[in-house]
Chain A
Amino acid sequence: MLQYFLRRLFALIPVLFLISLFVFLFVHALPGDPARVLAGDNATLEEVEIVRRTLNLDAPLHEQYFDFISNIVQGDLGVSLRTREPVTTMIGRAFMPTVWLALCALGWSVLFGLLSGVISAVKRGSVGDHVGMFAAVSGISMPPFWLGLLLMQFFSVQLGWFGTSGFDAPADLVLPSLTLGAGVAAIMARFTRSAVIEVIREDYIRTARAKGLTEKLVIWKHALRNALIPVVTMAGLQFGFLLGGSIVIERVFRWPGMGSLLLDAISFRDYAVVQAEILIFSLEFLLINLLVDLLYAVINPKIRYS
């Protein structure tokens, strides 16, 4: 297992190198001239050229890539074109707020999704099933910015229970994580429902029931455990997306996370920040995939890695 883990970890290096090249070319291929954007709205051509010279944006592309990759090898993600602040500092500041938001959103959505998915599967066609699936469809269908503004209007402006936006206290996590998790909870509920329905038709479930095990034990121990593998895969994927920072939700709630940072960086064509963020997102996905693969073995001991 350890050997497998280390092998997978080392295999990430060439993948990350390729991603860095791809990301660099992709970012530079985006339409939009950073010098023009950074110079500001009413800048004259002369002012734009001053910005281009100052930020070394007139250097040949291969030189810029070489600078980028040699900095990364030394653990330096470069300097923001917009604020001249080290990108490492900017990402360091934005990373934890996004992690907290992602964890909270994933926490409640997985819990809700699993519970309502199992109940819907077991009580198929019942009122509970319909209510659960209606909630799930609503969760997927509601545009997050609309749900966020609605929650803000009700809980912050009308009731005054929570701050409207920003991240100054743990309570500030409630509304954004509710908004962010709504879609994930819905996906998890629907996924769990299908997986459990599939599993409870299996022979071994019939056998378990024939043995006289209680329904609770049959469902929660035997059925759910086997149904969990696709569910965990989905949860891992969703966590990857959540860690990427939800741009819309972070914008609505003025959340100082990776999504807000990426949005600002893209609109200003702040190449250094965009490249660093995409690299980090890629690394997060690769690591989460590895973690999910390892989790399979924990859920189902029959799975062995060598």
Chain B
Amino acid sequence: MKLLKTALFSATIMAGTFGAFQSQAAELSIALNQIVQGLNPQDSNYNVDYSVANGIYERLIAFDGDMKLAPQLATGWEGNENATVFTLHLRKGVKFQDGTDFNAAAVKFNLDRLADPSLNLKKHSLFKLIESVETPDDYTVVIKLSKPFGAMINTLAHPSVVMESPAAIEKYGKDISKHPVGTGPFKFQEWIPGEKLVVVKNDNYWDAEWPKLDKVTFYPVAENGTRVSMLMSDEVQFVPILPAELMKRVSESDTYEVIEKPGISVWVMAMNMMRKEFQDIRVREAFNLAIDQQAFTQVVYGGHAIVPDSPLAPATQFYASQSPELSTDIAKAKELMKEAGYENGFEVNLWARNNSTEVRMLQFLKQQLSQINVNVQIVPLEGATRAEKLFGSSVTPETAEFDMVIGGWSPSTGDADWHLRPVYSTEGWLPNMYNEAFYSNPTVDKAVNDALETADPIQRSAAYAIAQEQIWKDKPVVWLAIENALAGRKKGLTGAFPMPDGTMQYAHAAFEE
């Protein structure tokens, strides 16, 4: 027995030592909160896929850590005044990891593919306005649209719009998602679905400065506590999604640190305006006044969130802060309810997912609304069930079963369009997009459409300011919080960080010497 114990102990010490040597050899391990679905971002809607793909592929235009547009494979771009023609100037001297040249033909190949409805790519909807892609020379691409679309440049920066090797697509077809070939600093090496995914250094990367790491391994770890334990035992050095309740364990350590960035995910409680009570602005205003958003950010996010002051998050392009700020005033809320004829309140149901964060939201909101005599029946739903009951193709304004629903929206193009259009325009009503309140205001619809008619940022900004002001006035939702992006990281590791849109970056990761 003693011998067995000694052997086991020695073996684990050796394994630990070996592990330590491994991390010194410029290797990084990352614990993801979900399993990777596939490695073809053009055919995915999952942040986890985009996150891993960020090192393998590159986009024409990318976002920096603050969601500002940054050149990547395109070094410059411009659009015409009525947002129908966009010209991109490409980086020279870039090759895909399989040796294929990156040039205008490769970009045309990728954009034509995205625009082709017969290929059934999930992100086709972002590019259905493309009429033609022209290549006047090897390093210039001209995109012509069938109608104006002012958000085109930001759409090109969407994490799904990566450049894939045309030769690899010809070779692998649909299986490209298992054999990704891009221009990024890391090459795909191995993927055991549900277990791990490995990428290694691309020695022929166009920027000789990068990458600094030889290998990056991703582990899908659904359990929050396990991800933190893996970090604290140096099995991984980066945890890109860190739940606020476990943050303290990391922040109190001398070896690990918490990285916190402002997010763009705005959490709201949408009020179904098909219900008579919510058609009255006084009721919607009373609901907003009854909820203490400061307390909400403390209870749900441990203070790692901010209170919204616009339908958009500050890091979203064309955000404009609104007044008055959100405030809590129970007496005024009760008065408004009385004026609206609901002094004794009424009963409503409130839907959310059944994870611990959203269940905390449910409990908090139920308590808060009871102060104005509203009896909330909380309905935590399993993810797939919620998706079907809320967004199913048979859901119509008349058949929707919910009175109120909690949800967060993060515009992955970083642009106001992909927040205001799906969440607040009439075009975005469920099940088409995500307007869960069935809110409709012609001023908002017009402003959202006007902003797409031009590529001029000043005109677009003015149009979105009108939309934000009107939505803030109409209060179709109760704005709750904008959660910060939180990650846990080993001290000395740089360049690996969470993005405000819920993805992460690791292409420029390095260990300080």
Chain A residues at the B interface, C-beta cutoff of 8 Å:
30-34, 36-37, 39-51, 53-54, 82-85, 90, 93-94, 145, 149, 152-153, 156-157, 160-166, 169, 171, 174, 251-254, 256, 260-261, 263-264, 267-269
Residue of A nearest to B432 (CB): A45
Query: When the two chains form the complex, which single residue of B233, B392, B409, B433 contacts A157, counting CB atoms closer than 8 Å?
Result: B233
Q: What's the Cα separation between A37 and B383 when bound, in Å? A: 8
Given contacts A149-B225, A164-B229, contact A32 B193 (CB under 8 A): no
How many B residues have CB within 8 A of the partner chain?
A: 56
Write out the residue numbers on chain B whose beta carbons fall within 8 Å of the beta carbon of A50.
Answer: 120-122, 124
Looking at the assembled complex, report how far the CB atom of A262 sits from the nearest CB atom of chain B, in whole angstroms.
11
Q: What's the Cα separation between A165 and B392 when bound, in Å? A: 37
Q: What's the Cα separation between A153 and B223 when bound, in Å? A: 14
Write out the residue numbers on chain B whose beta carbons fall within 8 Å of the beta carbon of A48.
Answer: 391, 393
Looking at the assembled complex, report how far the CB atom of A255 sits from the nearest CB atom of chain B, in whole angstroms.
10
Query: When the two chains form the complex, which single residue of A43, A84, A163, A166 contacts B45, counting CB atoms closer than 8 Å?
Result: A43
Given contacts A45-B433, A83-B193, A93-B192, contact A36 B125 (CB under 8 A): no
Write out the residue numbers on chain A whose beta carbons fall within 8 Å of the beta carbon of B391.
Answer: 36, 45, 48
Write out the residue numbers on chain A whose beta carbons fall within 8 Å of the beta carbon of B409.
Answer: 42
Q: Which of B7-15, B310-318, B342-350 contacts A (4 or more CB under 8 A)?
A: B7-15
Extra A-B contacts (17), CB below 8 Å, given A44-B422, A47-B122, A48-B393: A32-B385, A33-B388, A33-B393, A37-B383, A40-B122, A46-B125, A94-B194, A163-B15, A169-B11, A252-B223, A252-B226, A253-B226, A254-B219, A254-B222, A254-B226, A264-B35, A267-B382
A160 contacts B385, CB within 8 Å? no
B432 contacts A44, CB within 8 Å? yes
Write out the residue numbers on chain B whose beta carbons fall within 8 Å of the beta carbon of A269.
Answer: 384
Is B221 positioned at the interface, with any CB of A under 8 Å from its CB?
yes
A83 contacts B38, CB within 8 Å? yes
Q: What's the Cα separation between A160 and B192 when bound, in Å? A: 26
A54 contacts B120, CB within 8 Å? yes
Cβ contacts A to B, 14 pairs, < 8 Å: A33-B387, A40-B44, A42-B409, A48-B391, A50-B124, A83-B37, A83-B193, A145-B223, A152-B226, A164-B235, A165-B230, A169-B15, A251-B223, A254-B223
Q: Among the interface residues A39, A54, A164, which one has the most CB atoms of the partner chain B within 10 A?
A: A164
Is B129 positioned at the interface, with any CB of A under 8 Å from its CB?
no
Given contacts A39-B122, A157-B232, A264-B194, contact A33 B392 (CB under 8 A): yes
Residue of A nearest to B46 (CB): A40
Looking at the assembled complex, report how far the CB atom of A147 sits from the nearest CB atom of chain B, in whole angstroms.
12
Residue of B nearest to A31 (CB): B385
Given contacts A163-B235, A165-B230, A254-B221, contact A31 B389 (CB under 8 A): yes
Q: What's the Cα separation between A200 and B180 when bound, in Å? A: 68
Q: What's the Cα separation between A31 and B388 when bound, in Å? A: 7
Residues of B375-425 at the interface with A, using a CB-CB cut-off of 8 Å, are 382-385, 387-389, 391-393, 409-410, 412, 422
Looking at the assembled complex, report how far the CB atom of A18 sits from the nearest CB atom of chain B, in whole angstroms.
27
Residue of A nearest to B8 (CB): A171
Looking at the assembled complex, report how far the CB atom of A167 sits from the nearest CB atom of chain B, in whole angstroms.
8
B233 contacts A53, CB within 8 Å? no
Q: What's the Cα separation between A53 and B177 when bound, in Å? A: 19
